[in-house]
Amino acid sequence: MGNRVVKRAYRYRFYPTPEQAEQLAKTFGCVRYVYNRALAERHRAWFQEQRRVTHAETDRMLTCWKRNPETAWLAEPSKGPLQATLRNLQTAYVNFWQKRAKYPTFKKKGKTTDSAT
């Protein structure tokens, strides 16, 4: 027998306080907004300019969005989940290009499982 790696996952039930639940809802909303906005920008760039937007470019866009007064609320949650959603979008595009998945779709409130890494 060769070396085998066994991966395990543990699931825990979480009972947030009302303040924590509010903060989680804000974080999930920001994650969904960033994912959808980055997807829209990548979609626009390809269909209007025939150019691919890189992960580094979307990361710079996130910084601009956080500094913009209209979307300054993006600076409230931790930067980790927002950057993770951009990595997830990049992975979705790589899987699409390699014919392992369909084209990435927009996230709808209440239609997807909320998550933040």
pLDDT digits (tens, 9 = 90+) for 22-37: 999 999 999 999 999 9
Task: For residue 8, tell me if it sits in a domain.
Answer: no
Residue 13 lies in a domain: no
Examine residue 29 and state whether it is found in any structural domain, yes or no: yes
Q: Is residue 44 part of a domain?
A: yes
Domain that holds residue 46: 18-97
This prediction has a pTM of 0.85
Structurally, the chain folds into a number of domains equal to 1
37 within domain boundaries: yes
Hunting for tokens 């990049």 — which residue is that?
A: 90
Indicate whether 102 belongs to any domain. Answer: no
pLDDT of residue 3: 84
Mean pLDDT value across residues 98-109: 93
Nearest by Cα to 38 from 5, 67, 60, 23: 60
Give me the residue label for tokens 């500094």.
67
Give CA–CA dist 102/96, Å, rounded. 6
pLDDT at res. 67: 95
How many Cα atoms sit within 13 Å of 54 on the Cβ side? 3
pLDDT for position 106: 93
In a domain, 92, yes or no: yes
Q: Is 66 helix (H, G, I), strand (E, B) or coil?
A: helix
Nearest to 57 by CA among 74, 47, 45: 45
Contacts of 46 (CB under 8 A, 6+ apart): 52, 53
C-alpha atoms less than 13 angstroms from C-alpha of 22 in its C-beta half-sphere: 4
